[in-house]
Amino acid sequence: MATIDIIADDLVVNVEGLDKLWALKSSLTIPLANVRGATPDPSIAHEWKGVRTAGTYVPGVIVAGSFRNEGERVFWDVKNPAKALVIELADERYARLVIEVDDPRATAELIENAKRN
C-alpha cells in the first residue's frame, strides 16, 4: 500500500511497509504540473501488466515495481485490486502509477483538487 501527500507543488507517493522491498522503491515525487489525472480503477489489476523490469509479480497476490507495457513504463504497487488508484502522468519516467491506497476515491479527489489550485 502507499500513501499520497501533496507537498508544495509536488505529488509524493510513499510506498509503505514490505511493499518497499517488493517494489524496489520507497517513494516517488512528481510535479503536480505533470499529473494528468487520477481515478479509482479496481478492474485495472486484471489487465495485462506488461513485462516486469524491476520488482515483484505473484499473480493474485501482489504486483509491485516497474513494468513496461506497449512501450510505456508503469509503476505498480497493488495487492488489493479494490483499492487501486491510477495516476496518469505526462513528461515523467512513468506514464502511469497504479497504486493501492486506503481510500481511492478520496485520494483521487485530493489529487484533482490540488491540480486545480
CATH of the domain at 47: 2.30.29
Cell of 13: 507517493
pLDDT per residue of the chain (117 residues) written in tens, 0 to 9: 999 999 999 999 999 999 999 999 999 999 999 999 999 999 988 888 888 999 999 988 999 999 999 999 999 999 999 999 999 999 999 999 999 999 999 999 999 999 887
- 55 close to 94: Cβ distance less than 8 angstroms: no
**Which residue type is seen at 30?**
I
pTM over 0.85: yes
Q: State phi, psi for 109 to the nearest 5 degrees.
A: -65, -40
For the chain, the residue count is: 117
Distance of CA 9 to the CA centre of its chain: 18
- What is the chain's percent helix, strand, coil content, to nearest 5? 25, 50, 25
Q: How many separate domains does the chain show?
A: 1
- 32 close to 101: Cβ distance less than 8 angstroms: no
Q: Which domain holds residue 71?
A: 2-116
